[in-house]
């Protein structure tokens, strides 16, 4: 298939309500533009002969006879009226793009030819980034190293890739020189120091704690009272398994030694890395790659007939979806009838 033969895409936008669909379509447009495709977004009357005619609202979709591929973006089907509407469209369109592989099975079970239905997991917005958790150390730093802060340096020395996944926040006295050691390793960190003579020192610390994600302590010196502050504001706590740290409930992770502390940091960092992978694999770049491959297959007149991979599973998914349908109220029935008449004329 010559990709250049499908170089232009018209995204049909019958109206713009400012919903997530409009934002998603602009992310798709921007990624297609970056690949050299010509893309325009507008109402049906603005169509100018583009090869791909991509209807962003399936309930208002009508085919364009001049397009090589008439495609429909299918969002949730949540009542019997919408099911009837999409069923009537199976013979009219070449392509149905669902929000996930699971939902493409719903269309297949309704009778959509398998080669027309694709499920591509809905992508995150192009501007979205996975939040980096802030790990707060709330304590003074002591010359004898009793808080085991050196463990943080050791951890990042052994796992330099983690410096992009965690933010260390130091709250208390005498952390300034330690910040120099963190900076030398490229670790992101913040230091907060309120003088003890400040009238609202404690209240300011409590307010800052509410912006954190974890409270961490490394010292095995009979416990740290700040554990109660962390619990009060809803943080996850990573604490030595000693003293009154024990028995604090399910939001507390206890460790017995340096290796155990490292394992807890690994768990936090792994969750960030996992979310990063999800955003990468489901991001607009991969989404558009799958979308283009599907459209190219739809434009191939000689493509083989495809069979459903698991018809029984598809029927089960359809059954489950119907169990969550909304009742056909007068409003929903009227809206369905209105859309049917609108497309007929």
Positions of the chain with pLDDT lower than 70, given as ranges: 1-4, 344-345
Q: What is the pLDDT of residue 163?
A: 96
| pTM summary value | 0.86
* Under 8 Å between Cβ of 191 and 174: no
Q: pLDDT per residue over 79-130, tens digit each?
A: 999 999 999 999 999 999 999 999 999 999 999 999 999 999 999 998 999 9
**E-assigned strand segments in 43-151:** 52-55, 69-74, 95-98, 117-119, 134-138
Q: What is the pLDDT of residue 156?
A: 98
Q: pLDDT per residue over 189-229, tens digit each?
A: 999 999 999 999 999 999 999 999 999 999 999 889 999 99
Q: What is the pLDDT of residue 301?
A: 79
Instruction: Give me the sign of the Cα torsion angle 154, 159, 163, 166.
Output: negative
Q: HSE-up of 102 (CA within 13 Å, CB side)?
A: 10
CB crowding 71-108: b at 16 or more within 10 Å, else e: bbbbbebebbbbbebbeebbeebbbbbbeeeebbbbbb
């Amino acid at each position: 298939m010559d990709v250049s033969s499908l170089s232009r895409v018209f995204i049909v936008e019958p109206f713009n309500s400012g919903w997530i669909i409009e934002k998603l379509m602009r992310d798709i447009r921007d990624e297609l533009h970056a690949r050299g495709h010509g893309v325009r977004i507008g109402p049906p009357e603005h169509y100018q002969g583009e090869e791909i005619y991509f209807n962003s609202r399936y309930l208002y979709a009508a085919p364009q006879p001049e397009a090589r591929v008439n495609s429909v973006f299918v969002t949730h089907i949540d009542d019997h009226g919408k099911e009837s509407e999409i069923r009537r469209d199976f013979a009219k369109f070449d392509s149905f793009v669902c929000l996930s592989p699971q939902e493409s099975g719903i269309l297949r079970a309704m009778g959509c030819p398998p080669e027309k239905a694709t499920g591509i997991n809905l992508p995150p917005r192009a501007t979205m980034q996975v939040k980096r958790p802030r790990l707060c150390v709330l304590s003074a730093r002591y010359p004898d190293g009793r808080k085991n802060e050196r463990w943080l340096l050791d951890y990042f020395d052994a796992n330099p890739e983690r410096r992009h996944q965690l933010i260390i926040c130091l709250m208390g006295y005498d952390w300034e020189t330690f910040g120099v050691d963190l900076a030398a390793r490229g670790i992101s960190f913040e230091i907060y120091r309120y003088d003890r003579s400040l009238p609202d020192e404690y209240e300011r610390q409590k307010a800052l704690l509410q912006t954190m994600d974890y409270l961490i302590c490394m010292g095995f010196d009979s416990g740290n009272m700040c554990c109660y502050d962390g619990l009060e504001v809803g943080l996850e706590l990573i604490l030595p398994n000693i003293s009154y740290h024990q028995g604090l409930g399910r939001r507390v992770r206890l460790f017995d030694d340096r290796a155990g502390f490292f394992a807890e940091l690994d768990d936090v960092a792994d969750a960030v890395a996992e979310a990063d992978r999800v955003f990468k694999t489901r991001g607009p770049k991969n989404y558009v790659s799958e979308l283009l491959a599907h459209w190219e297959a739809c434009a191939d007149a000689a493509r083989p007939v495809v069979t459903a991979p698991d018809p029984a599973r598809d029927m089960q998914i359809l059954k489950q979806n119907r169990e969550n349908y909304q009742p056909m109220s007068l409003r929903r029935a009227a809206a369905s009838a209105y859309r049917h008449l609108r497309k007929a004329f």
